[in-house]
Amino acid sequence: MTKSAQFLAGVGFVAICVSQVGCNLVPQSTLRQSQLRGRQLYNQNKSLAVQRAESERLASQMAGDVSKLQSDLDVANQRLQNLQGERSELKDRLVKMINQRNEESPLSADATRRFQQIMEQFPEFQFDPQTGVSKFHSDFLFASGSDKINTKALPVLREFAQIMNAGEARQLKILVVGHTDDKPIAKNATRTRHPTNWHLSTNRANAVVLELTKSGVTSNRLGAAGYSMFQPIVANKDSNSRAQNRRVEIFVLAPDAVVASSPGGRRE
């Protein structure tokens, strides 16, 4: 280093020389600031590179997640369509079963007479001799919000089973259908077992079916369904009309009606 350079360094200057150009005097503080800024830029670039790599990784992961979610959604939609199709098919079968019943009752004269005797004994039980359809008021069969059959209704169901197990009636099928009024389930305790009127209507129909099996009616002759509040016989205007709509109907069907599979037969 020349004496001039040593002097300049001593007073805080650095000589930056370029061949064939000459030397420029740069304060040491400026040089340090430039070096510091250079390191800062380097670190920033390095951090940005890391962030970019992480962003690309996350983008790739999100693309995979979106693809999986779309696949799961497609599967769920397909399952929903299948369930809707099955529900529509079951509804059509139920309507067909009811519509296929004879215009005249399939019951014999003796069975019809015995059902009329039950109707005379129990006003809560209704019987149509023309169609063979029986009807129970739900308030007679069940306590409010319950699917447990009242003790007072058991003799009627047992007599019903005895009639259906005698003579030609043993060949007939039985479809039990539950109905409710338009009031939603109000009590918390009731909602635990019957969250909606759909549950209540089907559970009550099931209870009647099970009671008939206890009385000797074979299961392959029985079917159960529920219509919730959607098949009222009168408008739900007041307590009296709602009581009429809360009912359980029992359809007596021809032997070839498909209510349930017969042993060893084709399953629908």
pLDDT digits (tens, 9 = 90+) for 44-71: 888 888 888 888 888 888 887 788 888 8
Residue 7 CA, distance from chain mean position: 91
pLDDT digits (tens, 9 = 90+) for 81-125: 787 777 666 666 666 555 554 456 889 999 999 999 999 999 889
Strands 247-253 and 133-137: antiparallel
How far is residue 94's CA from residue 90's CA, in Å, rounded to a whole number? 6
**Domain residue limits, the chain:** 102-253
Residue that wins the pLDDT comparison between 165 and 32 = 165
Q: Using CB atoms within 10 A of its CB, is residue 94 exposed (0-12), middle (13-18) or buried (19+)?
A: middle
Res 171 pLDDT > 80: yes
Nearest to 233 by CA among 217, 222, 244: 244
CATH topology assigned to domain 102-253: 60s Ribosomal Protein L30; Chain: A; (3.30.1330)
pLDDT digits (tens, 9 = 90+) for 184-235: 999 998 999 999 999 999 999 999 999 999 999 999 999 999 999 999 999 9
What is the signed CA dihedral for 11, 17, 21, 24, rounded to 10 degrees? -30
